Structure 1
Amino acid sequence: MNRRDPRVVRRLSSLRRRRLAFVVRETAARVTRILLIALGVLILLAGAVLTPLPGHVGLPLLVLGLMVVLRNSFQARRRFIRWQKRHPKLIFPIRRLMRREPEILLVAWQQLLRSEKVVLRRPGWRVLKRGRKAVRKALGKTPLS
C-alpha cells in the first residue's frame, strides 16, 4: 500500500476531519467559557454599583454574577474556597444563596440579626432578638438556643 491508495487517503482524511472537529469543539468551548466569565464579571460589577442604591437589586446580581464566574473559572473557584476557609462567617450566607433552592428569607433574617448585633452593642437594646423570643413564647414554641 502506498500513499496514493484510495483506502489510505480515505482513512487519513477521516482522521484529519475528526482531529479538526475536536480542535474546533475545544476552541468553541474555551471561547464560550471566556465569554461566560466576562458576562459574570459584568453582572458582578453591575451588582456592586447597584448595592448601595435603594431597592434590593444589588445582592441578587452579585450572587448571580458570582455563580456564573464560579461555574466557569477554576481559578476563581480556588480563590473562593480559600476565602471560604479564611472568612467562613462572611462566605457562608453567600453559599446558602447559591444553592439550588436558596433560603433567602433565612439568610436575610440572619444578616439582620448580625447587623443589629454590630450596631447595637448592648444585648438589651436588640429589638429583633427580643421580638423573636416574644413571638416564640406567645406561640408556645421552645427557643432553639
Structure 2
Amino acid sequence: MTQRDRKVARRLSSLRRRRLAFVLRETLARLARALLIALGVLIILAGAVLTPLPGHVGLPLLVIGLMIVLRNSFQARRRFIRWQKRHPKLIFPIRRLMRREPEILLVAWQQLLRSEKLFLRRPAWRVLKRGRKTVRRWLRKRTA
C-alpha cells in the first residue's frame, strides 16, 4: 500500500466516523423529541382529568403540556394553527397563556365574563360585569 493509498484510507475512515456521529446525533434528537411529545401528551391528559376538580390545577397543566407538544411536533403545530384559524375565540386565551409573560389574571377574568355571558343570558343578571363597573366608579370617585 502506498502513502497516497493510506491518506485516502484515513480520509475515508474520518468521513465514516463523521457520518456515524451525525447519524447517532440525529437518532438521539428524534428519540428525545418523541419522548418530549409523549411527556407533553401525558401532562395534557393529567390536566384534562384535573380540570373539572376544584382548585384550578388543570388549566395550567393543559397549557404546559400543549407548549411541550407544540415545541416538539411539527404536525401538532400545523393542527394548532388550523384550529386557531377555525376557532379564534376558543384558541386565543390559550395563546395568551403560552406567551413568555402570560397575562394569567386577564385571561381568567375574560373567561369568567364569557362563562357568565354564556350561562346568564339576561344582562341584568350578570353580576361580574356590574361589579366591575361599580368598582371602577368607586375608584374614580376615590382618586378624584
What TM-score do the two structures reach when normalised by structure 2?
A: 0.93
* Structure 1 Cα separation of the partners of residues 63 and 29 of structure 2: 24
Relative to structure 1, the CA distance from residue 55 to residue 3 in structure 2 (aligned partners, 3 Å threshold; closer, same or farther) is farther
Match of 1:140, SS state, is helix
> Cα deviation per residue 1:33-58 (whole Å; 9 max; x = unaligned)?
10100000000011111111111111
Query: What residue in structure 1 maps to residue 59 of structure 2?
Result: 59
> 1:101 Cα deviation (Å)?
0.6
Partners in 2 of 1:124 and 1:105 — Cα distance? Answer: 25
Q: CA deviation at 1:3?
A: 9.6
Structure 1: gaps of 5 or more residues: none
Which position in structure 2 is the counterpart of 1:50?
50
> Which residue of 2 is the match for residue 24 of structure 1?
24
Question: 1: distance between equivalents of 2:65 and 2:45?
Answer: 8
Q: In the alignment, residue 77 of structure 2 is paired with which amino acid? A: R
Counting matched residue pairs gives 141
CA RMSD between the two structures: 1.6
Q: Name segments (4+ residues, structure 1) moved above 3 Å.
A: 1-4
Paired letter, 2:27: T
Partner secondary structure for residue 36 of structure 2 = helix
Residue equivalent to 1:96: 96
Q: Does 1:84 align with 2:84?
A: yes
The aligned residue for residue 133 of structure 1 is 133
SS in 2 for 1:5: helix
Distance (Å, rounded) in 2 between the aligned partners of 1:51 and 1:22: 43
Offset at 1:2?
6.6
Judging by fraction of residues, say which structure has more helix.
2
Output the CA distance in 2 between the equivalents of 1:3 and 1:19. Answer: 24
Can you list the C-alpha shifts for 1:39-78, whole angstroms capped at 9, x where unaligned? 0000001111111111111111000000000000000000
Q: Which TM-score applies when normalising by structure 1?
A: 0.93
List gaps (5 residues or longer) in structure 2. none
Structure 2 distance, partners of 1:58, 1:72, is: 21
